[in-house]
Structure 1
Amino acid sequence: MAKLVGKHKIGGRTRTAGEMTAGSAPIHLRESLPGYAAAAIGLAGVMYRAILMALDVPPANSDEGTAGLAALHIGEGRHWPTFFYGQDYMGTFYSYLAAPLAQLLGSSWWVLRLPALAMYAVFLLLVFRLTHTLYTRWFAVVVIAVLAFGSDRVVKDQIIGAGGYSDVATATAGLMLASALLVLRPEKRQITFAVWGWLAGYVVWTHWLALPYVAAAGLLVAWTSRAGLTMRQAFLAVVGFLLGAAPLIWFTHRSDHPDSFSVLLSLSGATEPAAWSDRLHGAVLLGLPLSSGMCAPSRCETWQMWWGPAYLILMVVAATVAVAAIRRDDPDERRLQAGRLALVAGAAMTLAAYIASSSSATTPIESARYLHYGMVSLPAVLWPLWIGTRSLFGREARQRRATHPRWRGVVVAVGCTALAIAVFTGLLVATGQLIAHRPHYAAKADDEQEILDRLRAAGIAHVYSEYWTCNRLAYRSGERIRCAVLDEDLTPGFDRYRPYRDQVRQSEQVAYVLPDSSAMADNFARSAPAGVDVVSLHDVAGYQVYLCRQKPTRN
């Protein structure tokens, strides 16, 4: 009996099933190619950051040391902190992630940063899915390429193991993706509502600087689901939120704890005096380029500040296009554009909140990290550039220009292309500036190790030092060194982990580890604190290390 061969009419020609199978491979490859390209680019970004971690770039800071101490204590079962030591806000989930690694692999900085590296990889995946969902596949590849670059400020926010930035940025990207899925894919609504609520609750517990995105996501879902929202869906969202925010709720309702919102508001600096011109300069001309990856380590050259005004213009264009499209009759188009507008709104509210804070004027370089969550909105900001560039190089655009030439459109397209090239050039230059700065950062890591080795050789387990040094020494030594913080006048300073002060006071043999050319070192050289006898002085790695004997004090 002859075999029956199935036939299908495609493209005006009859094809056999065998021909369709053979021809489906190139189609499948074309559909999969953006995902493969994004995976390769994302892997390059992860490997770049892994190499930096191995080289102790960027250097550790005191907040990272504090988070590391919490990880050590959690791993030993000594403490179960809800918030960052010494404050009543910023959740400590990151320290819980790092705790088993610190116990297993020791108290090195790269160990503490491993969860942040994993968070970065998840962040890339979520942003790719978000961009693919709201825009196009190849544009999503371009966004991943932008995020793979790593300037100093961007890398610090992504891989320093202090928590509150790498994990919250990832949660924010997940929240906006869940919102987009709720808006565009109703069949996913049941479990997605629970995930959406949990991510919103996690952000509320961990870092309120990302609240603009919670607000944008909430407004988006409420607006698009207002007619079809069921009690079950609302219940799942509420339960998820309560689970994500449970540590904050438990902490707040204990009578012996202050209100976290009041504490954070008092520290925001919104009521402190600062000229609006300084706020705008710090937020737009410094903050946006720094947080987007356009600047050198700890500075932004004048020629690198162009991205701030360009960012604002692109954000306005993206918002205008989305609002105009929402007014159309097509409900699917309205939902899509609402999702895009939510990304713009999240970035705009984040920027507005930063401008309202005096930090944008008083400490613009370091405080630019407060704009880190705006990376989630880069697809919305870069979309006008993509459209303009496509209108110049796309096949359909070329055909359209051949039949109906419009010089105004060509000028706009050329401008968008030039701006896109400038963006990638700026990212590449800033990444190169961080790589060139690596020897300076490596020297800092060597200095830290030299101090630890000198203290261990002298048998010192208790020291006094400045805020920015204390918890770094404590974590890096695995708590074999305990440190109490001093202010410049040698009076007790801000100890994030309070038990260290009492332990240092009760020790007879201590060291004062004081930065060279500091007011603290000058004050000690003029007059040592009462009851302290200097045994010897050593210049070690940019510090004056006084080995001393003191009269132990009891509480």
Structure 2
Amino acid sequence: MNTWHGHLKKLNIGLYEFGMVTLAIMACLLRIAFIALHYPTTNSDEGVMGLMARHIAYHGQWPIFFYGQGYMGSIEAYIGALLFHIMGSSSLFTLRLGLIFIFALFLLTMYFLTRQLYNRSLALFTTLLLSLGSFDITSHQLKAFGGGPEMLFLIGIIFLIANKLVFTAPVQNSEITRKERWQRWMLYAILGLAVGVGIWSDLLIIPFIAPVGLLLLIFCRHEVFSKAGLWAVLGILIGIAPVIYYNLTLSNTDQSTLGAMIEIQSSTATQMAQQHLTKSTQLSGTLFISIPTITGFNPLCSKISFPEFENHNSASLHCVVEHGGWTLGYSLLWISAILISAFIIWRIWNSLRQSRYQQKSNRHLPYTEQFLLKLHSARLCLLISAALTIFVYINNPASAIEPTANARYLLNLLIVTPALLWPLWNGFNEIHIPVTIQRTKKPLFILRVILLCFILFVYANGTIGMVKDISFSQKAYQKQHELIHNLLQIGATHVYTEYWTCYRIAFESNEKIDCVSLTSSLHIASHRENRYPPYTTNLKKASDFVYVFPISSPQAQTMAQKLKLINKKYYTKYTFDDYFVYRLNFRLN
């Protein structure tokens, strides 16, 4: 017993770590219950990822990116394929199970990152908070459409390793043993690998990589420009090898990673101009909608409740106050955390400058001050990463076009959670507070506790809201399977439809139904909506012409207009719940 206790103590594992493991297990069990009850509702993006996993598992395919595009790696598909073999089932539940494993790793990483930069108590509270969350946070942890959970985990690993390298950096290589030097080289290699895989997974990781690189350049400069740096470069090259291979073997440069980025920027900018959206719309969308959405605020108001969107007269004052207040609070916490660390760094450097001036010597910082300098520099890097992420998003047309759905581009802000909580937790105790302000210490403590409880309540309320929404998701799941059953009953195995129906029914039907996506004018859509070319080939060869559209879709309205000019004997119309299904004797267009 004493030996076991000794091992735990040596590994620095105590009650807080057991608490973290308990919270992580409970959070994972809750999410397993969600996906077992078909929550959240799936969509075609997730259907594409499911098809990729199935094609990897059973058809010997090796996709590098999400089908139909030259970016966003297929990590989730490969994990799904492995689980398909292990579980013996290629269901949506099995696909999502892999995301829960990644989520567990994310919680573990966040705990140790918070413990590394702050303390155990905040690490445990952060784990509790991230175990909860609103629909808009949790859905990105449970829906397999690429880039989300694995990116959060990789960013956490990158910061953990970089901080360890900085905190333990030797003044000269001669001060460490051969074994320690190899250990540090391996850490640089793993760091590089995490960076490379992160870039392959999603380019949204870059605003977090840049500050980490700067941190290493400042405190580990002699290592970065030595063999250790080469190990890091090797790791990066291995991590981004799929990206390099994809771009080198392309026959059409328009589908390259760079070409895809340019195409997205161009198309969204065009869409923004067509909708007469402005820079102020981007700012409003980010501050009033996207940041509250992705940082857990709930319940949320619709887009038209805010200035700059839709009908300006429909702006709701309480929505502007609530959402704006949440973002204001987020901003104040960020500014407070920045000021705390910046003040301590300034105080250390000022002390060093004065001692050098007085003693006229190149005095080195004592170990304690060196560590504090590194610690607060690392905290600043975390906070700067959040600012860079928001800056990039504000300047992206996506923040104006659909700020609620596109809030997913800010998902990485969850990494900064402990840094923002620190001013409320214990942050101001790190700086010397004047006696006049100390008199208000107790009221400020009470205020901090109230604010922390409020944040916890908001996240818990989001989780409760999801539980209430399960019945809606189950109804949607039932309707989807009834649609698939009805289509198979009438022999409709090759269908023309719209994107958000296409790959969803293809995956859920085990590809008994394949499809082609049509535009609102009933023309074949681009490769961004027809992501799997073999389906298009199959439909061109098909002798049966079946069109499946949601009743309220633009495609259904266009079809109704076209059918007015066609004799009824040339087509058969079915109504399956929320869908119109048309079987024609000929192919349109």
Residue 81 in 1 paired to residue 81 in 2? no
Match of 1:546 in 2: 582
Q: Is the 8 A contact 2:215 2:377 kept in 1?
A: yes
Please list, as runs of the form range in 1=range in 2, the aligned pairs for 1:9-408 lying within 5 A after superposition. Answer: 32-103=14-85, 104-186=87-169, 189-229=184-224, 231-254=226-249, 256-258=251-253, 259-268=256-265, 269=268, 272-273=272-273, 274-296=277-299, 299=302, 302=319, 303-327=322-346, 328=348, 329=352, 330-387=369-426, 406-408=438-440
For residue 14 of structure 2, give the secondary structure of its aligned residue in structure 1: helix
For residue 38 of structure 1, give the secondary structure of its aligned residue in structure 2: helix
Once the 2 structures are TM-superposed, how far is the Cα of residue 290 of structure 1 from its aligned partner? Answer: 1.2
Once the 2 structures are TM-superposed, how far is the Cα of residue 231 of structure 1 from its aligned partner? Answer: 2.0
Q: Is the 8 A contact 1:90 1:205 kept in 2?
A: yes
Residue 506 in 1 paired to residue 541 in 2? yes
Q: Is the 8 A contact 1:126 1:170 kept in 2?
A: yes
Please list, as runs of the form range in 1=range in 2, the aligned pairs for 1:510-521 lying within 5 A after superposition. Answer: 510-521=545-556
Once the 2 structures are TM-superposed, how far is the Cα of residue 444 of structure 1 from its aligned partner? Answer: 1.1
Q: May I ask how many residue pairs the two structures share in their alignment?
A: 526
Q: Is the 8 A contact 1:484 1:495 kept in 2?
A: yes
Structure 1 distance, partners of 2:583, 2:535, is: 18
Structure 2 distance, partners of 1:77, 1:371, is: 35
For residue 516 of structure 2, give the secondary structure of its aligned residue in structure 1: strand
Structure 1 distance, partners of 2:249, 2:15, is: 53
Change (3 A) 1:207 1:298: farther
Structure 2 distance, partners of 1:80, 1:431, is: 37
Structure 1 distance, partners of 2:568, 2:245, is: 44
Once the 2 structures are TM-superposed, how far is the Cα of residue 256 of structure 1 from its aligned partner? Answer: 1.7
Deviation by residue 1:81-130 (Cα, 9 ceiling, x = unmatched): 11111111111122111113335533321111111111000000111111
Once the 2 structures are TM-superposed, how far is the Cα of residue 466 of structure 1 from its aligned partner? Answer: 0.5
Moved more, 222-231 or 403-412: 403-412
Structure 1 distance, partners of 2:164, 2:10, is: 24
Structure 2 distance, partners of 1:136, 1:221, is: 23
Q: Is the 8 A contact 1:132 1:140 kept in 2?
A: yes
Q: TM-score, normalised by structure 2?
A: 0.83
Q: 1:200 is matched by which residue type in structure 2?
A: V
Aligned with residue 526 of structure 1, among 553, 556, 561: 561
Question: Could you say which structure has the greater relative contact order, defined with CA pairs below 8 angstroms and 6 or more residues apart?
Answer: 2
Q: Is the 8 A contact 2:43 2:504 kept in 1?
A: yes
Match of 1:6 in 2: none
Q: Is the 8 A contact 1:513 1:546 kept in 2?
A: yes
Q: 1:76 is matched by which residue type in structure 2?
A: Y
Once the 2 structures are TM-superposed, how far is the Cα of residue 230 of structure 1 from its aligned partner? Answer: 5.8
Match of 2:531 in 1: 496
Structure 2 distance, partners of 1:390, 1:35, is: 24
Please list, as runs of the form range in 1=range in 2, the aligned pairs for 1:411-422 lying within 5 A after superposition. Answer: 411-422=443-454
Structure 1 distance, partners of 2:54, 2:163, is: 38
For residue 513 of structure 1, give the secondary structure of its aligned residue in structure 2: strand
For residue 221 of structure 2, give the secondary structure of its aligned residue in structure 1: coil
Structure 2 distance, partners of 1:135, 1:534, is: 71
Structure 1 distance, partners of 2:396, 2:417, is: 23
Change (3 A) 1:317 1:216: same
Structure 2 distance, partners of 1:460, 1:322, is: 63
Once the 2 structures are TM-superposed, how far is the Cα of residue 240 of structure 1 from its aligned partner? Answer: 0.3
Structure 1 distance, partners of 2:99, 2:228, is: 32
Structure 1 distance, partners of 2:52, 2:416, is: 32
Residue 455 in 1 paired to residue 491 in 2? no
Change (3 A) 1:44 1:214: same
Structure 2 distance, partners of 1:286, 1:454, is: 39
Structure 2 distance, partners of 1:373, 1:26, is: 32
For residue 65 of structure 2, give the secondary structure of its aligned residue in structure 1: coil
Once the 2 structures are TM-superposed, how far is the Cα of residue 534 of structure 1 from its aligned partner? Answer: 5.2
Structure 2 distance, partners of 1:375, 1:213, is: 12
What percent of counterpart residues are identical? 28
Q: Is the 8 A contact 1:536 1:546 kept in 2?
A: yes
For residue 298 of structure 2, give the secondary structure of its aligned residue in structure 1: coil
Q: Is the 8 A contact 1:516 1:542 kept in 2?
A: yes
Change (3 A) 1:537 1:36: same
For residue 379 of structure 2, give the secondary structure of its aligned residue in structure 1: helix
Change (3 A) 1:532 1:123: farther
Once the 2 structures are TM-superposed, how far is the Cα of residue 248 of structure 1 from its aligned partner? Answer: 0.7
For residue 426 of structure 2, give the secondary structure of its aligned residue in structure 1: helix
Aligned with residue 467 of structure 1, among 463, 484, 499: 499
Deviation by residue 1:360-409 (Cα, 9 ceiling, x = unmatched): 12201100111101111111111111116989xxxxx9xx99x9993333
Once the 2 structures are TM-superposed, how far is the Cα of residue 461 of structure 1 from its aligned partner? Answer: 1.1
For residue 399 of structure 2, give the secondary structure of its aligned residue in structure 1: helix
Q: Is the 8 A contact 2:207 2:389 kept in 1?
A: yes
Q: Is the 8 A contact 1:74 1:99 kept in 2?
A: yes
Structure 2 distance, partners of 1:101, 1:478, is: 16
Deviation by residue 1:222-265 (Cα, 9 ceiling, x = unmatched): 21101444622111101000000001111222352434124214
Once the 2 structures are TM-superposed, how far is the Cα of residue 297 of structure 1 from its aligned partner? Answer: 7.1
Structure 2 distance, partners of 1:534, 1:364, is: 44
Match of 2:469 in 1: 437
Moved more, 454-463 or 249-258: 249-258
Deviation by residue 1:27-75 (Cα, 9 ceiling, x = unmatched): 9999611001111111111111111111111111111111111111111
Change (3 A) 1:522 1:176: same
Q: 1:252 is matched by which residue type in structure 2?
A: N
Q: 1:306 is matched by which residue type in structure 2?
A: G
Moved more, 466-475 or 405-414: 405-414
Q: Which runs of 5+ in 1 are unaligned?
A: 1-19, 392-396
Deviation by residue 1:150-184 (Cα, 9 ceiling, x = unmatched): 31111111111122111111111111111111111
Output the aligned Cα RMSD: 3.1
Structure 2 distance, partners of 1:384, 1:534, is: 70
Structure 2 distance, partners of 1:533, 1:376, is: 60
For residue 548 of structure 2, give the secondary structure of its aligned residue in structure 1: strand
Structure 2 distance, partners of 1:84, 1:28, is: 44
Structure 2 distance, partners of 1:405, 1:365, is: 41
Q: TM-score, normalised by structure 1?
A: 0.88
Structure 2 distance, partners of 1:132, 1:121, is: 17
Structure 2 distance, partners of 1:443, 1:437, is: 10
Once the 2 structures are TM-superposed, how far is the Cα of residue 277 of structure 1 from its aligned partner? Answer: 2.8
Q: 1:484 is matched by which residue type in structure 2?
A: V
Q: 1:84 is matched by which residue type in structure 2?
A: F
Structure 2 distance, partners of 1:497, 1:298, is: 36
Q: Is the 8 A contact 1:171 1:203 kept in 2?
A: yes
